[in-house]
Structure 1
Amino acid sequence: MIDLYTWTTPNGRKVSIALEEMGLPYKAHAIDIGKNEQFAPDFLAISPNNKIPAIRERETGFHLMESGAILLWLAEKTGQFLPEGSKWEAMEWLMWQMGGFGPMLGQAHHFLRFKAGTCAYAEERYGAEAKRLYGVLNRRLEGRDFIAGDYSIVDMATWPWASRFEWQQIDLVEFPNVRDWYLRIAERPAVQKGYDVPKVTTPIPMP
């Protein structure tokens, strides 16, 4: 049994989707970051960086923070969704997500949605970077169903951030390969179930 400490954010949804796809038993514990629950001492013991998601394996006490590390551990543990033949290709694009597609889109959320009108420079900078990153992904998906060969943890890591395209002021019609990939993944039952962890919020946005 795995304890998942999470919230309704793209990073949190990466892991709940992976757990659903892998068929692993888990219990979700809501860490409401709007109420600063991520700073509680009990959570700090599991996630020293005060960020969700984090996991703990009950039988061994092993715990892990950082969504990318968790996805890699789950893939290795189950032997699923990290094809050996394209392992380093998958690693490359997972690092791209962790270093760019996630953090930069997070900044776009901040300045385009939550702080709109407060800093024109930031809005222009992160809005342009969001479009650039979607362009990178669109080119990557040309002639491909998924980012790194077969459906993998790379798609599970990237898709939740794309699911906030409206927050980023992105029109997926402008990125048809991304749109098709997005819809392909949105149809998966495990993705639909994992999206609603730790609680139901809004339906999956559709372009």
Structure 2
Amino acid sequence: MITNTLEQKRYFSFELLNWYTRNKRDLPWRRHRNPFYIWISEIMLQQTRVDTVIPYFNRFIARFPTIEALAEAPEEDVLKLWEGLGYYSRARNLQTAAKQVVELHGGQVPDDTQAVAALKGVGPYTTGAIMSIAFNRPEPAVDGNVMRVLSRYFLIEEDIMKGSTRSHMESLVRELIPEGRAADFNQALMELGALVCTPKSPHCLTCPVMEHCSGRLAAPQAPPPVPTHAH
């Protein structure tokens, strides 16, 4: 593994945010800073493509504009709106968690990492996404996309299925988040993995952080392999 230099980290954060400002997709959940809507989008996006999620998200927030509305709805109504997205446990967990928020937090998603992490169906990644995107807290949101980007850029060759590797990645993201820019930075990191640093045939020549990418410099003729289980 190549040692991560301070210059390499600063360059990454600065160029990534500049790129995101110019190139970010106009997605419906990005038009709000409503923590509930951001939470819904993150649950829907688990194992589901963005293009598929957009119409479901729009219909869902139209029917359930508040946490109370979701908490009080018949379960069959919730599942009906989820029909076609699959992984129905996500919808059931989301409604259970909405009831938790009504009972414990007055119907408002709490600006508290531990409280969000305690909600049904909200794992470490979703917790980080909600806290950073909705509340601009400097929390890491590390998923497969983010792991792939960081593995390539910093030439991290550890097995990403290991807990120690995830902890390393989360610590690295904490270092990389510029002060006051957590929401944009984490979304930029996800966007780079989704649009540029893709699992197969990454678009290295259009990558905003190509110049200091350790993976590219180590293997300039071909992108570095995706680490174990990075998909």
Structures share fold, TM-score greater than 0.5:
no
Greater strand content: 1
Select the structure that is richer in helix: 2
Tell me: higher relative CO, structure 1 or 2? Use CA pairs within 8 A at least 6 residues apart: 1
TM-score, normalised to structure 1, is: 0.28
